[in-house]
Amino acid sequence: MSLQSLFKLGEHGTDVRTEVMAGVTTFLTMSYIIFVNPSILSTTGMDHNAVFVATCLAAALGTFIMAFVANWPVGLAPGMGLNAFFAFTVVKGMGFTWEQALGAVFISGCVFVALTITGVRRWLVEGIPKSLRSAIAAGIGMFLAIIALSGAGIVVANPATKVGLGDLHSLPVLLAALGFLLIAVLDYFRLRGAILIGILAVTAASMLLGLTHFQGIVSAPPSISPTLFRLDIPGALRGGFFHIILVFVLVEIFDATGTLTGLARKAGLLDGGREEGLGRALFADSLAIFSGSLLGTSSTTAYIESASGVQAGGRTGLTALTVGVLFLAALFFAPLAAVVPPWATAPALLYVAGLMMRELLEIDWSDVTEAVPSALAALVMPFTYSIANGLAFGFIAYAALKLFTGRAREVHPALWVVAALFVLRFVLFPAD
């Protein structure tokens, strides 16, 4: 079977060359994750090289599923925000093992598939107001920002003021600041792979200054055995993991559904009432989550960076297939990934965080019952170092304010259910 017939290129008004170039474009814009994800997850004690392999394989597998199940030009990889929640809240903040956290990701993936098949996923998405959805994205951005700033040494602990300014004369701090500016300038000029270039530039500068040591660029892929099938499902089924799984599911739902819907509209994939395509894409996205947990990485999700490939003309799964193949090729660059220092990935995290902050513009600040819960959701995430707490405060405040202002009818049943679950979480597990 030819690529033309397999991916229905003629029906979508595209050709092999356009699709392949679109795939290369998408890969360049999202490939920073192969350096950032191991940097984040290795803070939990996970083997850095194994996480690198798991990241590449999870991204390739998830993208292949999207290519062949949905025939959509969308790349998938471990999600930003979800990896930070996994590492800094679940493992480092709450004291669970990374194996248990992988178990929670697996369970959330199974729940995600069930919700997608039954249609409950759409019901949940329709039930969460736009203001809260925007606040969640912005809050995750601020959460990533504080992780990035502390990783770069720009923000440090201070016993008097909680946080303070780091040593601006430190070479890592200066390199991180310059890396951030480089990414912003390159992105302003719409250079493909701006974030990736920023990471590599800071890494190269660190080598030249003797802060890190060159270990080569290409080698055989490292072993994935330190993380492969290491998830602890029984441990994740402990009572204290209930709300963690809930947060994984909720963030996965909002992030993936919004991304896929937006990309589909941009590519014209929903024209003519082709809703079945969205259903297959949502199902493919769901399958990718627990596949990634088996390999040893946090939740895999659709990447908004796929919009760059759509802009370049990508319209079918051949674009996604190209992205997946390139992620497999990236497996041979493990020595380069191993030498990337935290202050090289911090600018990438900070820049992504800044882009996510744009969601604050979508909040209805003129309505107190919308603005206050949204502000709480966004602010509590970085200040308690927990996406879970931000979601809980936002959902509970929204339901309470609508109830006590006589506007309870504006609250969708799905929001009442989620708010009640979070209240139950605080009653049963107040110390988490």
Rounded to an integer, what distance in angstroms lies between the CA atom of residue 336 and that of residue 90? 28
Q: Return the number of other C-beta atoms located less than 10 Å from residue 280's C-beta.
A: 14
Give, for all 432 residues of the chain, the pLDDT tens digit.
Answer: 678 888 988 888 899 999 999 999 999 999 999 999 999 999 999 999 999 999 999 999 999 999 999 999 999 999 988 999 999 989 998 889 999 999 999 999 999 889 888 888 888 888 889 899 899 989 989 999 999 999 899 999 998 998 999 999 999 999 999 999 999 999 999 888 899 999 999 999 999 999 998 888 899 999 999 999 999 999 888 756 788 888 888 888 877 887 888 788 777 776 655 555 777 888 888 888 888 999 999 999 999 889 889 888 999 999 999 999 999 999 999 999 989 999 999 999 999 999 989 989 999 999 999 999 999 999 999 998 888 889 999 999 999 999 999 999 999 999 999 999 889 878 776 655
- Measured CA distances, 55 to 2, 69, 130, 431 (Å): 30, 21, 31, 32
- Report the chain's C-alpha Rg in angstroms: 21
Rounded to an integer, what distance in angstroms lies between the CA atom of residue 277 and that of residue 274? 6
Q: Which residues pair with 224 in a beta bridge?
A: none
Alpha carbon 19 to its chain centroid, in Å, reads: 24
The structural domains of the chain, with segments of one domain joined by +, span 3-428
Residue where the block lists tokens 């708010």: 419
Q: Biggest alpha carbon distance in the chain? A: 68
Rounded to an integer, what distance in angstroms lies between the CA atom of residue 391 and that of residue 370? 14
Q: Return the number of other C-beta atoms located less than 10 Å from residue 392's C-beta.
A: 25
Rounded to an integer, what distance in angstroms lies between the CA atom of residue 104 and that of residue 299? 10
